[in-house]
Amino acid sequence: MPSTLRVGIVGAGGYTGAELVRLVHGHPRLDLVWVAANQRAGQKLADAVPTVRGISGLGELVLESFDPQKAAKTAERIDVAFTALPHGASTLVVRSLVEAGARVVDLSADFRLKNRDTYAAWYGDHGAPELLGKAVYGLPELHRSELLGARLIAAPGCYPTSSILPLAPLLAQNLVEKHGIIIDAKSGVSGAGRSPGPAYHYPEAAEGMRPYKVAGKHRHTSEIEQELSLQAKADLRVVFTPQLAPMNRGILTCTYATARPGTTAESCREAAKKLYQGGLVTVLEGDALPDTLWVRGSARAHVAYALDERAGVVLGMCAIDNLAKGASAQAVQALNASMEWPDALGLPEVGMFP
Amino acid sequence: MPSTLRVGIVGAGGYTGAELVRLVHGHPRLDLVWVAANQRAGQKLADAVPTVRGISGLGELVLESFDPQKAAKTAERIDVAFTALPHGASTLVVRSLVEAGARVVDLSADFRLKNRDTYAAWYGDHGAPELLGKAVYGLPELHRSELLGARLIAAPGCYPTSSILPLAPLLAQNLVEKHGIIIDAKSGVSGAGRSPGPAYHYPEAAEGMRPYKVAGKHRHTSEIEQELSLQAKADLRVVFTPQLAPMNRGILTCTYATARPGTTAESCREAAKKLYQGGLVTVLEGDALPDTLWVRGSARAHVAYALDERAGVVLGMCAIDNLAKGASAQAVQALNASMEWPDALGLPEVGMFP
Amino acid sequence: MPSTLRVGIVGAGGYTGAELVRLVHGHPRLDLVWVAANQRAGQKLADAVPTVRGISGLGELVLESFDPQKAAKTAERIDVAFTALPHGASTLVVRSLVEAGARVVDLSADFRLKNRDTYAAWYGDHGAPELLGKAVYGLPELHRSELLGARLIAAPGCYPTSSILPLAPLLAQNLVEKHGIIIDAKSGVSGAGRSPGPAYHYPEAAEGMRPYKVAGKHRHTSEIEQELSLQAKADLRVVFTPQLAPMNRGILTCTYATARPGTTAESCREAAKKLYQGGLVTVLEGDALPDTLWVRGSARAHVAYALDERAGVVLGMCAIDNLAKGASAQAVQALNASMEWPDALGLPEVGMFP
Amino acid sequence: MPSTLRVGIVGAGGYTGAELVRLVHGHPRLDLVWVAANQRAGQKLADAVPTVRGISGLGELVLESFDPQKAAKTAERIDVAFTALPHGASTLVVRSLVEAGARVVDLSADFRLKNRDTYAAWYGDHGAPELLGKAVYGLPELHRSELLGARLIAAPGCYPTSSILPLAPLLAQNLVEKHGIIIDAKSGVSGAGRSPGPAYHYPEAAEGMRPYKVAGKHRHTSEIEQELSLQAKADLRVVFTPQLAPMNRGILTCTYATARPGTTAESCREAAKKLYQGGLVTVLEGDALPDTLWVRGSARAHVAYALDERAGVVLGMCAIDNLAKGASAQAVQALNASMEWPDALGLPEVGMFP
């Protein structure tokens, strides 16, 4: 096994792509050798991602276009490709790279769902259904053994990461009821991607909060239900309410579930600590509550629990950086896990504060 | 009845006080004649509230100290007092003014709870329990007839306003179950008041979101439960999760309740429109969802509903400006209602956009 | 003269249009009777400007399209039109309305420059040059007598307002040298208008500051130079540096000029107070410095002065709300002045704090 | 020379301290072994700097108190101390550590000025004047040879870094006049430190901009003048205007200087590129202008130039992260330089975007 992997990024001009550039550059065993972005092909990487201007080895990289027909040639230049494309656009790119022999970590939703029909119900027909069973859901804390040696990793979505992490231990350990789960999630605006639009125009996103795609309309619902059902060993339904918050990065998710008899906040914390050992999840102690400010730029998630005794409800909370643990850092963490490297290798664990 | 009321504000140096100055100044039948703020006594109002600098009739006002012993003299100078003091600090001030014959609209929590024991459980012993029964809860949309001619009005809290408005019609019309109600609320930082502290220091409040006082620890829980129990004609318990959002003004509240058979989003909207006729609540049509940006600086609340059919849950949402409909504008609206003036008289209905 | 004017707004779907809706609605002698926005024709005003949802008399207004050919019909329905269109798009609309007999207050740059050649140099050929001489520059503090009875008012730009106000008294009173003037201005993002674009996409405007169109490239330079030259009675050149600041509203402008012998901060303040009497400019006393937060939503400007004795430089500072005193409120103020009403009539002088 | 240095941080609970924790943790040749913060002594580092919660090797560190009397013992445990204390509080701490034989990188203003009288004029009497001559001003791009082997490094201030970098090459190469230099600087709020106060209370810092300590009142003026005078080989005076911008991190500085005959933007760029070779300054090409968003979390500065030909003024602009290149990252860079390591060793060059 090589001590260093040559890395390519497809979609390097978007936010998760830019975050991958930052993370791969800081990783001791990853070398960024190739960047692609069809819409910006020919541009310097530094024009698309101005944070690399003047940095030796990055500032000069030029964005190429990627043609699935020529994936074989690309695969000669790289060991692993991160594909950071919009949902739907990833399928054929990933297939071509997998077939050409590259390892692929895909950051879109295209390979996260296991069930073809579920995929069709939420997204439409899948363009490469034969790969659905081969892709590993890249949440190392829950799928570590499957990730070992994986060649196709589907990095989880940001909302799902922040929704699954607080609930998984509760459901796996039968600490809460399986029905009546409510997930109220607030995301920074970078989660919407880099394409401008009225909803993300500064004056209409700053200083305001709003829900969107509520009541079963957001596609991430399917991904959350798949993973929580796995943990609960039962088919689950959740109410999921995504909301836009006036900040760049960060997701704060509050989950509500009915406590089973005997459940305490402490038993929830214990279950989470046990499940997340070796991963990049900090379970906050005692009454401490999470703050997205504490994980900005960090590969870690913070999880906390409280029991509302008056109502018999467990409140599970999670804070992540949507572009880091919610996307690009988790993609690298999953690659690390697939290589049997420590999860945190080369990743910023200490976030920027403030 | 006088065509114009002489107004005094006690606590004019805080944020709800400053908002009252703005609103009273714009009101055709209110004259601001006296301002008090013990900690800033002797300062010009313009030094405490720099928005009034140079404005004829306001810039020259000087903050006085208020001594309950001399309330009688104060009461000769004013017809109505708005008291915008911290919780606990209001009780004796209000009693002295009421006894001296002034109308009082109190913006603290001191007179909102009807039940002395409930008050004691959440806040400690009450200093003027004889007034608890006389104070009218100043949510005109729900207590219009009691407000007529009221001499002591307890203006509702910001979180309670945004929590009660979407749920009240559902409970009053039996559209949802009375148990299992969850309220997930996100507030701008001005809701924490004007005293600096680590939690509201810009670098630790900007760009981040966090919950606080979760799981039955926030005192506003009692106020929400009192008013919703009234509407439901039954003793209710709610799970209430307050959160700090990185914005100055605004509360976005998502409420979750189990739908009763036959309930639709449309039936929820109809119930709300009927209940809120003549008030300052806009029930959004169809799939429209609220945005705190649409009510910034406005005396109105926006309410919306969605039904999650997969889970049988009604999502009731509300956006308000915490300092306007959530505090000072509602206080003026309640005074208007007590005078039998139109609710909106003199109040900014059109918010600042953006 | 009618006691109430019927008002139409062309371009009601943009930010200055929305602000005009707010201001006209609150004005006791203006009635909003007609709104137009060609790109949104047929939409409810409430869909374009969600702050009016549910408000009686506004929520139901429907945006019409405006055809200069039919200006005569429009002119029968209104007494005054505010035209809030992009630069260039305003010219023919304004001409048609003026010819049809309506009063017009134009918020674009189309009629602000007096000199046709200057206009051509910065903007290209003018489409209605015969009107350039008839339009009055709508800064009431400097052009009060010309505004009396004016039928075509060119409301000043936001940067020019904040640049001219601190410098005009210094130049008029010969307190500073006429050469070497530097203007460093920082604007909130709403100044860029409502059309989304990469530069104003929330994640790339929040939490960052950047200059743009520096070193003589910003068109507002011509407008600033015209007005300052008038005051100085000499042809002036200024260095103007516009910058984008991560806030919705507000411009903070710092101007630098060489002090002439004997000039003090106090003499600057005196000159400004004298010049701005009766207007909507607050000259801050002593060492007080301006804050855009103190004029948010307000029709007033705050101006302050300091003398750097070590360098012999006068620092003149100005804070305004770019959409209020920098655009729509000033447009209404100019209309007030043209009607010989008090400048502040119907305008919010007290801003929103915080 | 050891391959790894044991690092202690005095003042680890403040923002520059927290940033040092982040940077030292990511540095391959620095080991964080000791943290002190007198006001928080006994607390876990994780309670003061919540970004380290749960991170192996950091989460368990406990903040100690530091007693200059016992510096010798401390010096046995560490090779280098970063002192991140308020101005004035650093002097005796630094002296004790230097005398005990530790290398010290001081982030306060206490050792930046060379001239004792200048120090006294701006700050008062100095407590360890004998060290003023021994401390090296830690701007590696300008003082590289002096830094080699330095045992006491005074890390530059944030405003000075962003002011000196664009102007130094112009003055050193005689491209601009030495008189009439104006510096207009806008800083994020983290620059004010971690102590809450009314000026930095979120509701009064968000969404607003304001100048402070203008016209020769800000102490950083002396530091800027010292370094620019060195470059210009002449005694310089500058006008310096600091301003607070509503963002966490970042300084954008615009400098204005009179162009000498023949100077072009390109000649300015060339002078800067030459001077800054090997350092962490990116000189932007052509018309590109800096954005603080491009250097957030990065150890690099971005510098750009424009010539206003109409006025004969050179505009030099600089964007930095005030806590990184403006403080902690520059402190590590200076240590790197003193060890003859590459400037960028272990430092994040690629900032967080967005």
Class of domain B159-321 as given by CATH: alpha beta
Contact D55 A302 (CB under 8 A): no
CB contact at 8 A, B343 and B143: no
User: Looking at CA atoms only, how far is residue B184 from chain C in angstroms?
Assistant: 24
- Mean residue pLDDT of chain D comes to 97
Q: Is the pLDDT of residue D156 over 60?
A: yes
Separation in Å, CA D96 to CA D68, D70, D74, D127: 5, 8, 10, 12
Task: Render pLDDT for D286-308 as a digit per residue (tens, 0 to 9).
Answer: 999 999 999 999 999 999 999 99
Contacts of B247 in chain A (CB under 8 A): 206-209, 246
Q: Residues D45-58: what's their mean pLDDT?
A: 95
CATH number of this structure's domain B5-155+326-338, picked from the four choices 3.30.420.240, 3.40.50.720, 3.40.50.10470, 1.20.1560.10: 3.40.50.720
**Which tens digit of pLDDT belongs to each residue from D208-231?**
999 999 999 999 999 999 999 999
pLDDT one-digit tens code per residue, D74-107: 999 999 999 999 989 999 999 999 999 999 999 9
Contacts with C52 from chain B: Cβ below 8 Å: 350
Subunits adjacent to chain C (3 or more Cβ pairs under 8 Å):
A, B, D
Which chain B residues have a beta carbon less than 8 Å from that of D196? 196-198, 200-201
* Chain region(s) in chain B for CATH 3.30.360.10: 159-321
Tokens in use for B338? 């007590």
**Distance to chain A for B235, nearest Cα, Å:** 13
The CATH number of the structural domain formed by D159-322 is 3.30.360.10
Please report the pLDDT score of residue B59 as a whole number.
81
CB of A134 within 8 Å of a chain C CB? The answer is: no
In degrees, rounded to 5, the angle at the alpha carbon of residue D43 between the alpha carbons of residues D41 and D44 is: 130
Judged by CB atoms closer than 8 Å, whether chains meet at C250 and D208 is answered as yes
Say yes or no for a CB contact (<8 Å) between C19 and B353: yes
Q: Is the pLDDT of residue B1 over 60?
A: no
pLDDT at C2: 63
Nearest-Cα residue of chain B relative to residue C297: B352
For residue range B15-57, list pLDDT tens digits in order: 999 999 999 999 999 999 999 999 999 999 999 999 999 999 8
Residue type, B169: P
Binary contact (A203, C196; C-beta < 8 A): no
Whether chain D has a CB inside 8 Å of the CB on A32: the answer is no
The yes-or-no answer on residue B158 being catalytic is yes
H-helix segments, chain D: 15-25, 45-48, 71-77, 90-99, 116-123, 140-147, 158-172, 202-205, 220-232, 265-275, 329-338
Q: How far apart are CA B126 and CA B111, in angstroms?
A: 9
User: Exposure of B73 by Cβ count < 10 A (0-12 exposed, 13-18 middle, 19+ buried)?
Assistant: exposed
Cβ–Cβ gap D238/C291 under 8 Å: no
Residue A211 forms contact with B (CB below 8 Å): yes
pLDDT digits (tens, 9 = 90+) for D226-266: 999 999 999 999 999 999 999 999 999 999 999 999 999 99
Q: Which residues are paired to D145 by β-bridges?
A: none
Q: For the segment D99-154, what is each residue's pLDDT rounded down to a tens digit? A: 999 999 999 999 999 999 999 999 999 999 999 999 999 999 999 999 999 999 99
The pLDDT confidence band at residue B2, using thresholds 50, 70 and 90, is low
Picking from D250, D294, D308, the nearest residue to C215 by CB comes out as D308
The band of D2, judged by pLDDT with boundaries at 50, 70 and 90, is low
What pLDDT score was predicted for residue D60? 85
CB of A353 less than 8 A from some CB of D: yes
Q: How far is A247 from chain C (nearest CA, A)?
A: 8
Cβ–Cβ gap D201/B198 under 8 Å: no
CA gap D138, D152 in Å, rounded: 9
D248 → closest Cβ in B188, B196, B203:
B203
Domain with CATH 3.30.360.10 in chain D: 159-322
Residues B72, B70: Cα–Cα separation, whole Å: 5
Host H or E run for residue B144: helix B140-147
Q: Which pLDDT value is given to residue C1?
A: 54
- Name the class of domain C5-156+326-338: alpha beta
Taking residues B191-220, report their average pLDDT. 97
Domain with CATH 3.40.50.720 in chain B: 5-155+326-338
**Helices B158-172 and B220-232 meet at what angle, rounded to 10?**
20
Cα end-to-end span (Å), chain C: 39
Q: Do A353 and D51 touch (CB under 8 A)?
A: yes
Stated as kind and residue range, the H or E segment containing B47 is helix B45-48
User: Is D8 an 8 Å CB contact of chain C?
Assistant: no
Interface test with chain A among B308, B321, B323, by most A beta carbons within 10 Å = B308
Q: Which chain C residues touch A208 with a CB distance below 8 Å? A: none
| Cα–Cα separations (whole angstroms), residue D119 to C315, D91, D124, D134, D231 | 26, 13, 7, 15, 20
pTM of the model: 0.97
Helices C158-172, C140-147: inter-axial angle, 10-degree rounding: 90
B97-151 per-position pLDDT tens digit: 999 999 999 999 999 999 999 999 999 999 999 999 999 999 999 999 999 999 9
Please give the sequence-ordered ranges of beta strands (E in DSSP) within chain C, or none if there are none: 5-10, 30-36, 80-83, 103-106, 136-137, 152-154, 181-187, 210-211, 238-244, 251-258, 281-283, 301-308, 313-320
pLDDT less than 70: residues of chain A: 1-2
- The reply to whether residue A252 touches residue B209, judged by beta carbons under 8 angstroms, is yes
Give the distance from CA A79 to its chain's centroid.
21
Rg (CA), chain A: 20
Give the Å distances, CA to CA, from D263 to C298, D238, D257, D333: 44, 20, 11, 32
Torsion sign, CA atoms C245, C250, C252, C253:
positive
Going by pLDDT thresholds of 50, 70 and 90, the confidence category of residue D350 is very high
